[in-house]
Amino acid sequence: MRTFLAASAALPALVSALNVVDKRGVTVYNPTMTTTATAADATYTGAAAYDTTVLNPPAPPTDVAKDFPVQLMSGGMDGLSIKQKGSFMGFSIELSVADQIFGKNSSHLQVPFLNHMSNLKARAGKVSLRVGGNTQESAVLFPEGFNTGYVIQKFRRPGSTPTETPLIYFSPELIYSMKNVSSLIPTEYYFGLNWIDPNNFTNSVLVAETVENILGDDLLALQLGNEPDLYDRHGKRPQNPYTFDLYMNEFQQAVTQLNAAPAFTNRDILLAPSSCCFWNETELFQQGFVERFKDSLKILSVQHYPSNNCKINGNILDPQTIYPDFLRHGNSGYSPVSMVNPYRSTSAVAAQYNKPLVMLETNTASCGGFPGISDSFGAALWSADLSFQLAAANFSQALFHVGGQNVYYNPFTPPPTNQSTFHQWTTGAIYYAALVTAEAFGPTGNSQIVDLFMNGNNDYTPGYAIYENGHPSKVVLFNYITDPSGANDYVAHIAVGGGETGQPAAIPNSVKVRRLSAASVNQKYNITWAGQTMGDQFGSDGRMKGELQTETIQCDTAAGSCAITVKAPSIVLVFLNDQTLADSTPPSEGPQTFATTAATKIRNTATVDQAVLATSNGHGGGHYGGGILGSTSVGSVSSAWRMAVPGMVAVVGGALGAVFVAFVR
């Protein structure tokens, strides 16, 4: 308890009223968001995660060529990126909802979440997750856990407003939950430290020691500071302006305290600055930040949303009006190219220091996104395009944010607790983009990405090539246009060498193709990837439905090209050889999936022998938040639970019911 008092006594007001217009995108914990105004003028008043708004797609442009060449070169191309990993597109999970995503505790994990991650692991080899966000700056670790049955507890200070970040108390059981997930599915983590008071860092040092000890090699980096360029504007620092010098001096203070902690042994594990909105990171790096902390910094990071739905100073953006700006590759304020351009010099400086650069948190818009945009097929196109664009600009990772029920942009959302016995999860459009990128980047770690600027660098028909070991292995083709008539489908003629390149033609006899498809950019659910779907709202257990469909397209070897039709709208992934297809394809029996062994809101649930699950469960008794779930009587904590925990772990499936099964393939 003394640790808690030392860590929390000096916590200042966490979020002050916003009174400035942001340059990029300001994140607010619980904003008031746009909830009405649909194309049909309907009104929706429920949770944002299940909003029914459907916008009108933009009219097709009239100046897009529908038939054009795509020229690749053998041996590489100018502009190839650094080598990228298959888990390039990952997820940033807000700390305050982490228990809703992972599970109630380390012994009761969420089956649908495991299945969502298993789909990606089967294609990319690994999954990348970050736990943090605004709420990390108000988070306090209770090393002894709670006797309430909770892993996370949230409190609002007297007099606080709904837009202020709540106090977050969490148990080590959260970290054990993360470890158990990675024991089932290879997962690497970023974890955020509370840096709200640089003079009262004791609890954060304890968090660093605890996370390092439990996660071990699964810990990718510890985030020190979340959007520090907003600290002065949000009242998190008394100094205004909060200058680079002040920031670096306080960063040094934190590093000194971490390095003095006996149980903190990984001294080059930090990730920073994670600025979002007002700093020029290139200037910060050039003023000595990277050089000064090069022995402590493992990864450099930024956070950026292209827009916001925060209604700052009454500035309300109409989703229908801005929707077309998300449906273009470049030449709009919200396009992937426009979003990445400010960071190209930052990426170059990071490369000079041999430090990876990560987009630690992003999505369509801060303050939860926009109805009809963030949850639409258009967002799937946009987020996939952004991931490829960031990779081509030598970022090493892009993590798309996951919030609670009050946001529009979630890639996956568990049902409200009071509906978990009859509703399943909802898979959002952005999750499908992660499937595409996982297969495109593949598990080899050798993929290099290049923007092809194809079709005269047209905004509606972008494309990328993926090279492995100097040879083209895949091509990704986008079509942002909605047109059910087929008049805006296009044909890309892919060639490798040949023609006037000075190289011999190296086109294969045939290629394999998989498609991300929807009827319109405004479609929300039942999107298909290679013929498979995650289903409708409240209809997903995390397993893909339907048969995997891979098309074979014969090439014209005489002409030296392969003609690929790209429907409006869609993404097409073209595999240029069978080995890259095999590398990115789940096993014939499908990805490893998990059947539930427990259901929420149901008594007398079952558990499964932990040895069967091959997971390294940590402490799970009453002290660490497991007491109520382990009791044979609702509302009590039994000694039988404490005895059972070291050998038991259950996975929770909500509406799937209680089934005594461990793994299902």
Out of 22-36, 554-568, 623-637, pick the least confident. Answer: 623-637
CA distance 266 to 276: 27
Q: Is the pLDDT of residue 586 over 90?
A: yes
Contacts 24+ apart (CB under 8 A), 75-79: 75/470, 75/471, 75/503, 76/467, 76/470, 77/450, 77/465, 77/467, 78/450, 79/392, 79/450, 79/451
Residues 292-339 have pLDDT tens digits of 999 999 999 999 999 999 998 889 999 999 999 999 999 999 999 999
Average pLDDT over residues 396-424: 92
With pLDDT > 70 as the criterion, what percentage of the chain qualifies?
82
Residues 128-157 have pLDDT tens digits of 999 999 999 999 999 999 988 789 999 887
The pair of structure tokens assigned to 344 is 């190209």
Task: Tell me the domains of the chain and their CATH numbers.
Answer: 50-582 (3.20.20.80)
CA distance 545 to 534: 6
Q: Is the pLDDT of residue 39 over 60?
A: no
Average pLDDT over residues 441-459: 98
Q: Is the pLDDT of residue 9 over 90?
A: no
pLDDT band at 596 (very low <50, low <70, confident <90, very high): low
Q: Is the pLDDT of residue 480 over 70?
A: yes
Q: Are 46 and 410 in contact (CB under 8 A)?
A: no
CA distance 236 to 228: 9
Average pLDDT over residues 231-236: 94
Residue-level pLDDT at 138: 92
pLDDT, averaged across the chain: 85
* Residue environment code for 217-239, b if the CB has 16+ CB neighbours within 10 A, otherwise e: ebbbbbbbbbbbbbbbbbebbee
Q: Are 77 and 345 in contact (CB under 8 A)?
A: no
CA distance 240 to 259: 29
**Beta-bridge partner residues of 89:** 398
> What kind and span of H or E run contains 141?
strand 139-141
**3-state helix/strand/coil string of 54-105:** CCCCCCCCCCCCCEEEEEECCCCCCCCCCCECCCCEEEEEEHHHHHHHHEEE
CA distance 519 to 526: 10
Average pLDDT over residues 540-552: 97
Residues 624-650 have pLDDT tens digits of 333 333 222 222 222 222 222 323 455
Residue-level pLDDT at 605: 36
Q: Is residue 501 packed enough to be buried (19+ CB in 10 Å), middle (13-18) or exposed (0-12)?
A: middle
Residue-level pLDDT at 663: 29
Residue-level pLDDT at 650: 56
The pair of structure tokens assigned to 346 is 């930052």
Out of 13-17, 35-39, 376-380, 412-416, pick the least confident. Answer: 13-17
pLDDT band at 654 (very low <50, low <70, confident <90, very high): very low
Choose among 665, 653, 652: nearest CA to 541: 653
Beta strands 187-193 and 127-132 are parallel
Residue-level pLDDT at 419: 82
CA distance 516 to 530: 6
Q: Is residue 467 packed enough to be buried (19+ CB in 10 Å), middle (13-18) or exposed (0-12)?
A: buried
DSSP 648-660: EEEEE-GGG----
Q: Are 309 and 369 in contact (CB under 8 A)?
A: yes
Most confident of 28-32, 411-415, 603-607, 641-645: 411-415
Average pLDDT over residues 79-94: 98
Q: Angle at Cα 407 formed by Cα 404 and Cα 413, nearest 5°? A: 50
Q: Are 370 and 139 in contact (CB under 8 A)?
A: no
Question: Looking at this protein, which amino acid is placed at residue 468?
Answer: E
Residues 498-509 have pLDDT tens digits of 999 999 999 999
Residue-level pLDDT at 588: 86
Beta strands (DSSP E) in 237-392 are 270-275, 297-303, 357-362
**3-state helix/strand/coil string of 252-268:** HHHHHHHHCCCCCCCCC
Q: Is the pLDDT of residue 417 over 60?
A: yes
The pair of structure tokens assigned to 27 is 């994140």
Residue-level pLDDT at 623: 34
With pLDDT > 90 as the criterion, what percentage of the chain qualifies?
77
Q: Is the pLDDT of residue 24 over 70?
A: no
Residues 184-226 have pLDDT tens digits of 999 999 999 999 999 999 999 999 999 999 999 999 999 999 9
Out of 11-20, 102-111, 300-309, 394-403, pick the least confident. Answer: 11-20
